Amino acid sequence: MLRYIMMVFSVFLLVNFCFGEPAAMILTGDWTVDVLFCGQKATLNIDPADQFDVKAEKYDRLPLYNEQRTWNSELVLTQTKGTDAFPTSFALVSGSVIVRDGSGADAKTFEAGKDYKVFTQWGALGRTLESRIAEHQPVWIDYRYGKMRIDSVVLTKGGKIELRKGTPHIMMPEPPAISDDEQRLGNIYIKANTEHLDTNALFPILEIKFPEPEKIQGNTIAEQLLPKTMAKIYSGETLRILAWGDSVTDGNYLKNPNTDRWQEQFVKRLRERFPDAKIELFTEAWGGRGSGSYLAEPAGSNYNFKEKVLDSKPDLIIMEFVNDAGLKGDALTKQYSILLESFRKIGAEWIILTPHYVRTDWMGLDRERDIDDDPRQYVKDVRRFAADNRIAVADAAARYGRLWRQGIPYSTLMSNNINHPNKIGLKIFADALMELFP
């Protein structure tokens, strides 16, 4: 018993003596990492990416290869698709595709580059114009693909540094579970096509959660910039909230959109914080479009700005458009000034949600760590426009930018590996919105 008590006390001293000091994670080989924490050093051997062979997978036909298509090509190999049927970037192992006209030993093998082309990044392929594969001819395809994985560096109850291997997933890997009496020191992100680790795969945990700003009663953003909204919340008068946006707001890619969408999560929490408030939530969304698309639609259209947004008579409009991210400078000021004037004419208040981080190459990034500052000019210009015009901003981008500090590669929260946040990723929007309210 005494030995057990001393061991527990030693762990208590170890964890608390080093509290606030993150573990150092140092790459020492292609698949080895040294971890230094609280006077300890552990050398961890990381397993390479998990890869799997597929043999003679039948497809009824092979469409023509379209040079203009990328991630949404006509034929994507089945096992490289994610949870919502989107292809996973770089899941297909380069050079592994073999196409045959049958599954038996006597099947003819077609020639890559001559009979078909492969777009390795998105696991897609198609016939060439000179192909010997007929338009409606079935084909049997062999290929190799990989899954992503997040491994964790864990300080055990006994004070030992250990590696916990995560469960491979085609698109959204999660860190392995740990017990309440253990401490997660960091994560290691192994992509499907990882040939060897680099420093960008190492995610030492620098903070447990986003550092929420201190709230001063009577001086929160909502009390300053959304007085009509707060008045209705406190009085019990019906508050009509419009969630307006694109596919991220529509949420039809989610398994349970009625509970998992950011607006549903936000309003649920708002009702819990203000139990006497009477809140009506409704959604207007157009996948693949920006706010300017609504402005361009004629009267009578399914997405006409006046009829679908203004005529719904919202008290509060919360706008989410990751598809506005190409707007910047004068173009943003001009378009958002039109929106602001229109909202003020109907007496509606406005919250702008800054967008989540999307595919690294779309953002001009080559990594998922050390990315606190959003590189998109749109985000900078939205913050400036909002400050100049006293508009509330729910800064989801700022929260996404710090996920790496919590050991989370942000892309692992994308259900399509591109730009569709899953339930956890959408919770970040709700967090940003709740930050505004007392």
422: exposed, middle or buried (Cβ count in 10 Å: 0-12, 13-18, 19+): buried
pLDDT score, position 417: 86
**Residues near 228 by Cβ (< 8 Å), separated by ≥ 6?**
315, 316, 347, 349
| Token representation of residue 5 | 């008590």
pLDDT score, position 218: 84
Q: Which residues of 232-268 are buried (b: 16+ CB within 10 A; e: fewer)?
A: bbeeeeebbbbbbbbbbbbbebbeebeebbbbbbbbe
Q: Positive or negative, the Cα torsion across 117, 119, 125, 129? A: negative
Which residue type sits at 1? Answer: M
pLDDT score, position 379: 98
> 3-state DSSP call for residue 87?
strand
β-pair partners for 27: 33
* Gap between the Cα atoms of 110 and 117, Å rounded: 11
**Residues near 286 by Cβ (< 8 Å), separated by ≥ 6?**
246, 250, 293, 294, 303
**Residues near 295 by Cβ (< 8 Å), separated by ≥ 6?**
305, 335, 338
* Gap between the Cα atoms of 263 and 248, Å rounded: 10
Distance of CA 372 to the CA centre of its chain: 15
Of 44, 42, 41, whose CA–CA distance to 32 is shortest?
44
| Token representation of residue 406 | 């919590």
* Gap between the Cα atoms of 377 and 324, Å rounded: 11
Of 104, 248, 83, whose CA–CA distance to 172 is shortest?
83
Distance of CA 98 to the CA centre of its chain: 33
Asked if 100 and 16 count as a contact pair (C-beta separation under 8 A), the reply is no
pLDDT score, position 67: 85
Q: Provide the whole-model pTM.
A: 0.91
Per-residue pLDDT of the chain (438 residues), as tens digits, is 434 333 333 444 444 446 678 999 999 999 999 999 999 999 999 999 999 999 999 999 999 998 887 667 789 999 999 876 788 889 999 999 999 999 999 999 999 999 999 999 999 999 999 999 999 999 999 999 999 999 999 999 999 999 999 999 999 999 999 999 999 999 999 999 899 999 999 999 999 999 999 988 889 999 999 999 999 999 999 999 999 999 999 999 999 999 999 999 999 999 999 999 999 999 999 999 999 999 999 999 999 999 999 999 999 999 999 999 999 999 999 999 999 999 999 999 999 999 999 999 999 999 999 999 999 999 999 999 999 999 999 999 999 999 999 999 999 999 988 999 999 999 999 999 999 999
* Gap between the Cα atoms of 99 and 266, Å rounded: 49
Asked if 175 and 166 count as a contact pair (C-beta separation under 8 A), the reply is yes
Query: Which DSSP string do the residues of 280-338 spell out, in sequence order?
Result: EEEEEE-TT--HHHHHHSPTTSTT-HHHHTGGG--SEEEEE-GGGTT--HHHHHHHHHH
Of 264, 433, 252, 273, whose CA–CA distance to 353 is shortest?
433
Radius of gyration for the chain, computed over Cα atoms and rounded to the nearest angstrom: 25
Q: Which fold has domain 221-434?
A: Rossmann fold (3.40.50)
Which residue type sits at 211? Answer: P
Show me where the domains of the chain are located.
22-48+148-204, 50-147, 221-434
pLDDT score, position 19: 62
> 3-state DSSP call for residue 44?
strand
